[in-house]
Structure 1
Amino acid sequence: MSAKTVIAGVGMIPFSKPGKSKSYDEMAEEAVRLALADAGIDYSEVGQAYAGYVFGDSCSGQAGLYRVGLTSVPIINVNNNCATGSSALFLARQAIEAGAVDVALAVGFEMMLPGVPAGGWTDRKAPSFVLEREAEAIQGRFDNVPMAAQLFGGAGVEYQRKYGMKNETFAQISVKARRHAKLNPLAVFREPITLDDVLASPSFFGPITRLQCCPPTCGAAAAIVVSADYAKSKGLKRTVTIAGQGLATDGQSFLDAKSMMTLVGYDMTRKASERAYKMAGIGPGDVNVVELHDCFTANEVISQEALGLVPEGGSEKFILDGDNTYGGRLVVNPSGGLLSKGHPLGATGLAQISELVSQLRGECGERQVTGAKVGLQHNVGLGGACVVTLLSV
């Protein structure tokens, strides 16, 4: 990177079930004000703003940010499916790196409806039509199963065929997620669950049961990104460096591999992480704490391998040895992850960043990862986009 970029402040509101939240514009305002206060920066200092959401009308970002102030700041609305929040951060980081501004804002928010998310248009084909066509060619189509469960459940089935991982091991990820979320007051689901609870919940597809699926959620999160020179000039002492960042979309393997794991983002994750590691000048072995995209337990398994954190086929041992939690080699999703913290699509990536910034500052209390110096964030959206961000102190 040509200019050092740091995060000066983060803000996140408690996530909630659909129907229990404030309006999207109110949530966005609250998260932004929290981030500004955390940074000690006035909104008038923001040179560009990137507002991410998936379900909403055009210029919803303006609706939220106008509540913070009318400063004529350029506001760009971002939609990259589930990778929206971290895509907004990617753009904010690039604005700083390019020297366009000294202060940029990234905010993500979402108001979701109960049940399986549905597209907003009935007069045209969905952007996921190629993805769904390829999945159907590999494993058929199951009209009584939500498409996301078919996709990620199918990836879990493929992983089992390759490496023999047991259903119980997938289920252990949900148990771990709830155990972590118990310590996070911003998470939706904080009640502990047992392995038997997970396995006894209704089956969705392959190894995936209902308690291994993330819930529809409402919420918002934000980050203030500044140049290192600006931070120094203002005496900002609690900054966290964006050491590396990569954004990748699908390559030719999306069509050629005939793999469910590839269709749900394995190759995008690998490519984005390679770019982030190269930019940061570090490797997977340097990472202490991870917030990755566990929309389904199967995706935690394949993502930690695509990120290079675990050898291919090594996830079962990694999980059963407890190396993915406190006292192990890494702490994966100390926030509770998408499975338990919740997954308001546009806000998810920035919520992950909020957690990691707090971890690297040593501000997480009971869920603090001891000695955390390098954090990795992973956010994937089918259709497709994947962002991997490396943070350091």
Structure 2
Amino acid sequence: MSNEVRIAGVGMIPFTKPGASEAYNIMGEKAAAAAFKDAGLPYDAVEQVYVGYVYGDSTAGQSAVYRLGLSGVPIINVNNNCSTGSSALFLARQAVETGAVECALALGFEEMRPGALGSIFTDRPNPMERFSHEMVELQGFDKQAPGAAQFFGGAGQEYAKKYDTRRETFAKISSKARAHAQHNPFAIFKDPLSVEEVLGSPHIFGPLTRYQCCPPTCGAAAAIVCTPEFAKRHGIEAGIVIKAQAMTTDGPSTFDDHSMIKLIGYDMAKEAARRVYEKAGVGPDDVQVVELHDCFTANELLTYEALGLTPEGTAEKFIWDGDNTYGGKFVTNPSGGLLSKGHPLGATGLAQCAELVWQLRGQADKRQVEGVTHALQHNLGLGGACVVTLYGRA
């Protein structure tokens, strides 16, 4: 059995800096409540709930969802590093598509601390151990630089060496992100940044400077998915459809090819995109707007090619031609992306979903991309998992 999966409602709250947010369960409640209001549904309409977060105790999802009501439905907690939010959406979509339920909620939140990401448990094997070992073998380890920046900065460094890419090219991505974010009420960083200002910020690793690294933030976002029959029966608008979705994890090339580019998930993204295009029967040229995982500018540049937005080795021309912004081929991260919104790990994938649903509905205000018929989402987590989703109008 395969049901068409519609987006009944989306919601999110403005992201904030660590220490300035409400508690995770309050943030989660507010984002979910916004999605239910958007859908025009009560909480007890959903039959399953999937809640994503990374830094939290077990059943934190219940703590947030119980504030909406106690309907007794299954609540499943999800943790998949930076792709956690879209992993929750993947499971909710799968439940509806396979006929297990007619309506499900995907919720993601994160209450983060200032500073670079780090391990919580130091008395057991680190799940990133194999990745870290490979990184050290390829480029050594810089005690002064955050680990995530060394992974993605190293991949950017490898790409730049291979294709003689200018430092300014990476910096232009951050400048573009801020230009987009100025019109997003949910983003934290909205002040314009010139390429010179980006390059003038403190150096972190490889081509990356401080303004090319997404900050840890707090926030929450949610999406409700349902069948067309459910929507009709409840008299609600559910005009956006998930046309295809794929999740991938690491294959042999991640480690066997001894490449920083492969180590940070390039092949995962490429394969997930291939599956999505094949299932939906469309190609990159059918897409007008993309929300992709710009945790660092290097990853946005690499993801242009992994998603097939531009051929391998041509990302620099793609950027300088303006094909990644308004007036170009693809408007990438009209929300401002992780670089400007911030990156509350559990919420990011669902915040991307909300932005693309608004774009397809024509509700993105000054961020609105003209003539949107297909919207593409890419959410990546090291360790690893990648989720690519294609949305369209029903």
Sort the TM-score into its range (normalised by shorter chain): over 0.9
Partner of 1:365: 365
* Alpha carbons 2:6, 2:238 under 8 Å: kept: no
Partner of 1:298: 298
- 1:76 and 1:116 mapped to 2: Cα distance? 28
After superposition, what is the alpha-carbon deviation per residue over 1:343-382, rounded to whole angstroms, capped at 9, x for unaligned?
0000000000000000000001111000111000000000
After superposition, what is the alpha-carbon deviation per residue over 1:313-348, rounded to whole angstroms, capped at 9, x for unaligned?
111111111111111111000000000011000000
Runs of at least 5 residues in structure 1 that lack an aligned partner in the other structure: none
- 1:109 and 1:363 mapped to 2: Cα distance? 23
Match of 2:44, as an amino acid?
Answer: S
Alpha-carbon offset, residue 153 of structure 1: 0.4
Runs of 4 or more above 2 Å deviation? 232-239
Partner of 1:168: 168
Partner of 1:374: 374
Alpha-carbon offset, residue 13 of structure 1: 0.2
- 1:107 and 1:347 mapped to 2: Cα distance? 7
Partner of 2:252: 252
Match of 1:288, as an amino acid?
Answer: Q
Residue 340 (structure 2) pairs with residue 343 (structure 1): no
- 1:92 and 1:238 mapped to 2: Cα distance? 16
Partner of 2:22: 22
Partner of 1:66: 66
Residue 81 (structure 2) pairs with residue 81 (structure 1): yes
After superposition, what is the alpha-carbon deviation per residue over 1:209-230, rounded to whole angstroms, capped at 9, x for unaligned?
0000000100000000001221
- 2:60 and 2:237 mapped to 1: Cα distance? 33
Residue 136 (structure 2) pairs with residue 147 (structure 1): no
- Secondary structure of the residue aligned to 1:214 is coil
Runs of at least 5 residues in structure 2 that lack an aligned partner in the other structure: none
- 1:135 and 1:211 mapped to 2: Cα distance? 23
- 2:54 and 2:77 mapped to 1: Cα distance? 10
Alpha-carbon offset, residue 238 of structure 1: 4.2
Partner of 1:321: 321
Alpha-carbon offset, residue 277 of structure 1: 1.2
Partner of 1:191: 191
After superposition, what is the alpha-carbon deviation per residue over 1:143-188, rounded to whole angstroms, capped at 9, x for unaligned?
1111101100000011111111100010000000000000001001
* Alpha carbons 1:242, 1:389 under 8 Å: kept: yes
Matching of residues 1-393 of structure 1 within 5 Å: 2-393=2-393
* Alpha carbons 1:181, 1:334 under 8 Å: kept: yes
Match of 2:81, as an amino acid?
Answer: N
Alpha-carbon offset, residue 17 of structure 1: 0.3
Alpha-carbon offset, residue 390 of structure 1: 0.2
- 2:101 and 2:11 mapped to 1: Cα distance? 21
- Secondary structure of the residue aligned to 1:116 is coil
- 2:237 and 2:39 mapped to 1: Cα distance? 9
- 2:164 and 2:389 mapped to 1: Cα distance? 31
Match of 1:214, as an amino acid?
Answer: C
Alpha-carbon offset, residue 235 of structure 1: 2.9
- 1:236 and 1:277 mapped to 2: Cα distance? 29
- 2:198 and 2:368 mapped to 1: Cα distance? 26
- Secondary structure of the residue aligned to 1:9 is strand
Q: CA RMSD in A?
A: 0.8
* Alpha carbons 1:244, 1:279 under 8 Å: kept: yes
Match of 1:169, as an amino acid?
Answer: T
Q: How many residues align?
A: 393
- 2:80 and 2:110 mapped to 1: Cα distance? 13
- Secondary structure of the residue aligned to 1:107 is strand
Match of 1:278, as an amino acid?
Answer: E
